[in-house]
């Protein structure tokens, strides 16, 4: 697209569309900066400038770095939930548990940069009380709740052993999910993700199956 054509296309955007575009460009820029410098080394000034706008735009739009990072968290969460919901759909019980694990395996490849940046953001938020830390804790509650519900659905349907403690299993399930992502972020080359997830799936079926 020529510069003239690009300018004409930009002119045709509504104010809301231009705002959404600039926000997305700033979010994408922030992801790159966080991956390179961490959250402490990422400034709103750099985000605005490197996204192609003024140094003050991010601050003007979001009011503070904390607010910006909170919105970045929401953007990532929305992407993940959309992906998860597409993969799990109307499935329940054991099938839902397996589908959610497969969704994560796919997401690691599809959204590598976002995953890296979000884990950096999350871990750096743990050293202090903050709104982001509170939101992260709430999301962990949701993830454990989903896993627990899927197990209970499987027990009700007669496909999962009724001796399984759904609440405790949910903790272990999420420990695998978050733990494997952490290991992958630290040393991706050391892990064979396909083999790891295949074995996790096989072990999950063995552990939960009513036939056992």
User: CA 12 to CA 183: how far, in whole Å?
Assistant: 46
What is the C-alpha separation between 194 and 174, in angstroms, rounded?
A: 18
Q: Are 52 and 25 in contact (CB under 8 A)?
A: yes
Three-class DSSP labels, 115-141 = HHHHHHHHHHHCCCCCHHHHHHHHHHH
CA angle 21, 24, 26 (to 5 degrees): 110
pLDDT tens track, the chain, 212 positions = 444 444 444 558 788 888 889 999 999 999 999 999 998 899 999 999 999 999 899 999 999 998 999 999 999 999 999 999 999 999 999 999 999 999 999 999 999 999 999 988 888 887 777 788 888 899 999 999 999 999 999 999 999 999 999 999 999 999 999 999 999 988 989 999 999 999 999 999 999 997 65
* Residue 16: per-residue pLDDT: 85
Alpha-carbon gap, residue 154 to 160, rounded angstroms: 5
Residue 196 token pair: 């790891």
Contact status, residue 151 vs residue 164, Cβ threshold 8 Å: yes
């Amino acid at each position: 697209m020529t510069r003239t054509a690009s300018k004409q296309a930009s002119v045709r955007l509504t104010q809301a569309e231009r705002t959404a575009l600039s926000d997305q460009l700033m979010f994408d820029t922030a992801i790159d900066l966080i991956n390179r410098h961490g959250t402490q080394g990422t400034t709103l000034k750099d985000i605005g400038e490197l996204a192609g706008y003024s140094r003050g735009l991010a601050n003007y739009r979001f009011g503070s770095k904390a607010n910006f990072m909170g919105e970045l968290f929401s953007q990532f969460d929305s992407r993940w939930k959309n992906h998860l919901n597409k993969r799990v759909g109307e499935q329940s019980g054991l099938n839902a548990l397996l589908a959610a694990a497969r969704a994560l395996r796919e997401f690691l490849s599809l959204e590598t940069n976002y995953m890296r940046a979000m884990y950096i953001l999350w871990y750096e938020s743990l050293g202090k009380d903050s709104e982001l830390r509170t939101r992260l804790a709430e999301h962990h509650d949701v993830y454990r709740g989903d896993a627990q519900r899927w197990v209970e659905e499987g027990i009700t349907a007669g496909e999962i052993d009724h001796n399984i403690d759904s609440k405790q299993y949910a903790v272990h399930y999420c420990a695998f999910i978050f733990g494997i992502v952490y290991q992958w972020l630290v040393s991706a080359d050391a892990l064979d993700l396909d083999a790891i997830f295949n074995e996790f799936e096989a072990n999950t079926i063995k552990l939960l199956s009513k036939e056992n």
